[in-house]
Amino acid sequence: MHEVVNPFDLSVIGSVPTHDWEAVDAFLARAKELSEDRTAWKKPHERAAILHRAMEIMKDRRDHLAMQVAAEGGKPLIDARVEVDRAINGMELCIHEIGSLKGTEIPMGITPAGDGRLAWTSREPIGPVVAVSAFNHPLNLIVHQVAPAVATGCPVIVKPAGDTPLSCFEFIDILHEAGLPKEWAKAVVTPRDVSSKMVADPRVAFFSFIGSAGVGWSLRSQLAPGTRCALEHGGVAPVIVDKSADLASAVPSLVKGGFYHSGQVCVSVQRVFAHSAIIDELASAMVEEVKKLKVGNAIHEDTECGPLIRPKECDRVAQWVDEAVSAGATLLCGGKKLSDTTYAPTLLLNPPADATVSQNEVFGPVVCLYSYTDVDAAIAQANSLDVSFQAAVYTNDLAGAMHTYRHINASAVMVNDHSAFRTDWMPFAGLKTSGHGVGGIPYTCHEMTIEKMIVIKS
């Protein structure tokens, strides 16, 4: 059995079974059989009914699921409840997408070669799905990877993060309770070599990955020919704050975007480029708000920043901050471990461009402020990294907003909102080394199907 601990006090809170290659091989074999036996495919109304029943079960267990997210993942309970609500809404989105999985007519007769023909497409499940997930949203990420497979009729095997498997295993159990045969959805915890072998198996039709870039790109390189994939990695999210920005609304937004889940979010605010005319006022206001954040055990109602997922991550963040301060950054607040598992919410002013906190995703409660006088130079610095995901700009100048939108490297730009904003139906995509493919429930449902054409000559 694999034990799971609360990342704040490292107390054991549960366990899940582990799986060797023999078990995974059997799951893959059965998934392949189900995909090839069209008589075994679930009808659309059957898939919708299963997802609807599962959604109702999740509603009934909302408080339990939220507490579980907080206990195993360290996400504050106030935010864990939001995650559960999003997961429930994600189920509804998947039900809706079942009715949207349709093809299109292909025009014929545009050239003489097409005369006398009628053509259209329909959508079919792509086949067995293998998903590997991350720790930071232990229920909602699983819903994003698994529920679209159920909606589209694909058998799915999901490997949650070893730190946070409880929510995943419970979600799979809920699907089974709702009527999905167990062979159609399996949760596994495996050693790394078994995971790699599972992902690389030629029976896998679609691979979904959420996690670090190094692991994601490595696994992609091991995929069998023909396996399609979607990879979601991290970024070092840049934010532009110009001198016209409304700081009264920008400050709480930036603090939430930077310190939500202690910065353990792939599009968390990390690099804030503020005009020199307002940076002192912005920094002072942010320090005031950041110092108010309550750090503690995520299962407590008043906690706003929970622990980092593992003690070694706390040590890593401390090392990065100490390095930046030694290199010339001004420590505005924080900058210290509060315990083996928690780190004080930290603001740094003008760390060097080559400092680790300026170059790499910190995935911790650290936000860096940089002063600029030329917005194009700030955008150039924002664009200088090999990552690109979501970005933001705070401004009351429409021309300035559009200038940043057009010139900053990002798949999405938020105007007067933080970079971590997301709804579960919008496209969510990392560019460059930040990912491959497009997430978001409608887009994932599309990726888990193939478009099949029929051409009739008459």
Residues 6+ apart with CB under 8 A from 188: 19, 23, 24, 27, 157, 158, 159, 198
The answer to whether 367 and 282 have CB atoms below 8 angstroms apart is no
Residue type (1 letter), 306: G
CA-based max dimension of the chain: 78
Chain centroid to CA 305: how far?
19
The per-residue b/e assignment along 317-340, b for 16 or more CB within 10 angstroms, e otherwise, is bbebbeebbeeebebbbbbebeee
Q: Which residues contact 54 (CB under 8 A, 6 or more apart)?
A: 91, 174, 175, 177, 178, 180
Q: Would you give the end-to-end CA distance of the chain in angstroms?
A: 62
Encoded amino acid at 336, one letter: K
Alpha-carbon torsion (446, 101, 61, 78), positive or negative? positive
3-state secondary structure of 128: coil
- Which tokens is 125 given? 């499940």
CA separation, residue 190 to residues 24, 132, 163, 195, 199 (Å): 9, 11, 12, 6, 12
Catalytic residues: 232, 266
Q: Are strands 237-241 and 390-394 parallel, antiparallel or unpaired?
A: parallel
Among residues 282, 304, 286, the alpha carbon closest in space to that of 295 is found at 304
Residue 367 token pair: 């936000």
Collapsing DSSP to helix, strand or coil, 282 comes out as helix
